[in-house]
Amino acid sequence: MRLLRGGLGFLLRPGVRFGSDRPLYQQGQSPSPRTREYFYYVDHQGQLFLDDAKVKNFITCFKDKQFLAFFFKQLKLNQSGRYQDSFPYLSPCGREHNYLRCDDRPIVFTHLLQGAAGEEVLSYCGGAERLVVPFQPEKLVMLPENGRVYHPGPAKAGGVGLVKSALAFELSPCFEYELGPTHPPTHFCWRDKRHTLTNELLQCIQDKDEGA
């Protein structure tokens, strides 16, 4: 992973302080022998950046699918005792610790694809077919207050993923609101089938938002 980062050195600053309650860090710092720490950020479009990149856009985000697949498959809740409040997620790579913070959720679904066996899958965070989960339309959740859509994600990364806004816009006509527009939708019509939404992710989303 270190080699893949080399070409982005011009985007780094020596360290970043986010405020009096946020830690100071330096990319590549070594808190103990042979241990290195790096810091990343995921935006609501699923783009991964070095956290202290001066510019965050499509040009500066990571695009190597092999790197992204390894990074996000390793991703889990940060229970390391270091930077847990500021960087709630961790992608370990041997003695290299890669800390991650995010705009909303660390997993962002960007495309709806057809899997090898013909099943539908959601691809996330730029990994294409390397990073997918089975599409479960009955488990989609839309929050009426902001229109954001969520779907189950990898359990060790929190269990919930955000659906990228462009994909959410494509899916939005399929929602039905039996309780009215101020409540989460109750049904989702997909492939000639009307799914009753479980809305089981709502509690998980609300718990995280309350703890943020």
Q: What is the pLDDT of residues 93-120, one digit of tens each?
A: 999 999 999 999 999 999 999 987 889 9
DSSP 195: E
- Of 161, 159, 184, the C-alpha closest to 172 is 184
Q: Do the Cβ atoms of 37 and 30 come closer than 8 Å?
A: yes
Q: Classify domain 2-102 at the CATH topology level.
A: duf1285 like fold (3.10.540)
The rounded distance, in Å, linking the Cα atoms of 212 and 13 is 27
Q: Which amino acid is at 99?
A: Y
Phi/psi-derived region of residue 58, left when phi > 0, alpha when psi is between -120 and 50, beta in every other case: alpha
Prediction pTM value: 0.87
136 is written with which tokens? 């479960």
What does the pLDDT look like over 22-37, one tens digit per residue?
Answer: 568 999 999 988 899 9
Calculated CA dihedral for residues 7, 52, 49, 210, nearest 10 degrees: 170
Q: Do the Cβ atoms of 201 and 194 come closer than 8 Å?
A: no
195 is written with which tokens? 């799914």
- Of 192, 212, 197, the C-alpha closest to 142 is 197
Q: What are phi and psi of 150, to 5 degrees?
A: -130, 155
Q: Do the Cβ atoms of 201 and 141 come closer than 8 Å?
A: yes
Q: Which amino acid is at 117?
A: A
The rounded distance, in Å, linking the Cα atoms of 105 and 168 is 15
pLDDT in tens, the chain (212 residues): 543 444 343 334 444 545 445 568 999 999 988 899 999 999 999 999 999 999 999 999 999 999 999 999 999 999 999 999 999 999 999 999 999 999 999 999 999 999 878 899 999 999 989 999 999 999 999 999 999 999 999 999 999 999 999 999 999 999 999 999 899 999 999 999 999 999 999 988 876 665 55
Q: Report the relative pairing of strands 160-163 and 108-114 from DSSP bridges.
A: parallel
The rounded distance, in Å, linking the Cα atoms of 137 and 120 is 10
End-to-end CA distance of the chain: give it in Å, rounded.
30
Domain ranges of the chain: 2-102, 108-211
DSSP 164: P
